């Protein structure tokens, strides 16, 4: 496992690097215990698979994760010179990588395994705190888009939201995902708050291969020229989600 983390952009990441073995194991176990889905990227991010951590073995220094759907996909993963991982734990983006993955059987099912990383990147952008939106009752974004010879108002599910933007799922891959494309006259349907008007600009795009083998497209979009009124509405909704999440965690304990 190399000491340098995968390239994550132009920002200086050295202040965010974690080298403590105890802390790294704690972060990995946090991702496992909270059942967070994490992205597994190969070929410089051109292929993305969704996985989760099944086991963190600090005795044998091993991490076990869900395998990808399909033998060919798993073969590409284990043959990749580097596999990068990205996950979100509470308010923190956790990122790490490995150069060696092998296939195993874990609890009678196929899985992948690699050495506990020696370094991680832990990024916390407080001004743009992202929070995952509910999966059971997805929040919708209405995005007007050209479909054939007409404009359709697409209803897309949110993955997460911050005061800086949203991530949405374009399952049918209808939207133009070119970086920089702007979608005007969009609306977010925020529970207990109502419809808010936003302008979205595509900042990144990833085609995901889900655990069931289906594909989906995740678009990271930035809010453009957001009014103070709309910003306040988004902040209220984020605080609402945070309160509900904390209440649930407290109830479990």
The confidence score (pLDDT) of residue 3 equals 34
Decide: helix, strand or coil at residue 222: strand
User: How far is Cα of residue 12 from the mean position of the Cα atoms in its chain?
Assistant: 21
CATH topology match: 14-124 vs 131-252: no
Of the candidate CATH numbers 2.40.50.100, 3.10.20.30, 2.30.110.10, 1.10.10.200, the domain formed by 14-124 belongs to 2.30.110.10
Distance of alpha carbon 240 from alpha carbon 86, whole angstroms: 25
The confidence score (pLDDT) of residue 75 equals 93
- 226 backbone dihedrals φ, ψ, rounded to 5°: -75, 135
Return the CA Rg of the chain: 19
Q: Quick one: which H or E segment has residue 32?
A: helix 21-33
The confidence score (pLDDT) of residue 210 equals 75
Domain boundaries, the chain: 14-124, 131-252
Q: For the chain (length 253 residues), average pLDDT per consecutive 10?
A: 35 67 95 88 82 95 93 92 87 86 94 96 67 82 89 92 91 92 94 92 88 85 89 83 72 50
DSSP notation for 95-160: EEEES--EEEEETTEEEEEEEPPS-EEEE--GGG--EEPPSSS--EEEEEEEETTEEEEEEEEEEE
What Cα–Cα distance (Å) separates residue 203 from each residue in 40, 47, 106, 223?
Answer: 20, 17, 37, 10
The number of beta carbons lying within 10 Å of the beta carbon of residue 78 is 16
Distance of alpha carbon 122 from alpha carbon 1, whole angstroms: 18
| CATH topology classification for 131-252 | Thrombin, subunit H (2.40.10)
């Amino acid at each position: 496992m190399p000491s340098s983390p995968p390239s994550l952009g132009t920002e200086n990441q050295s202040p965010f690097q974690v080298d403590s073995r105890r802390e790294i194991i704690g972060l990995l176990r946090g991702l496992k215990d909270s059942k967070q889905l994490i992205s597994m990227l190969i070929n410089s991010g051109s292929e993305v698979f969704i996985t989760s951590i099944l086991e963190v073995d600090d005795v044998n220094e091993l991490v076990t994760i869900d395998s990808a759907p399909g033998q060919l996909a798993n073969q590409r993963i284990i043959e990749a010179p580097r596999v990068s991982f990205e996950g979100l734990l509470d308010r923190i983006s956790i990122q790490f990588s490995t150069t060696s993955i092998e296939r195993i059987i874990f609890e009678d099912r196929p899985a992948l395994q690699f050495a506990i990383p020696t370094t991680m990147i832990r990024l916390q952008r407080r001004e743009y705190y992202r929070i995952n939106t509910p999966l059971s009752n997805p929040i919708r974004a209405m995005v007007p888009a050209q479909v054939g010879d007409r404009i359709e108002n697409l209803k897309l599910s949110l993955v997460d939201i911050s005061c800086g933007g949203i991530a949405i799922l374009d399952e049918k891959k209808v939207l133009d995902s070119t970086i920089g494309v702007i979608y005007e006259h969009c609306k977010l349907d925020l529970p207990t708050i109502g419809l808010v008007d936003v302008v979205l600009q595509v900042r990144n795009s990833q085609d995901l291969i889900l655990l069931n083998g289906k594909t989906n497209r995740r678009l990271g979009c930035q809010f453009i020229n957001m009014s103070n009124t709309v910003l306040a509405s988004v902040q209220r909704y984020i605080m609402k989600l945070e309160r509900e999440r904390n209440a649930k965690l407290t109830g479990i304990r």
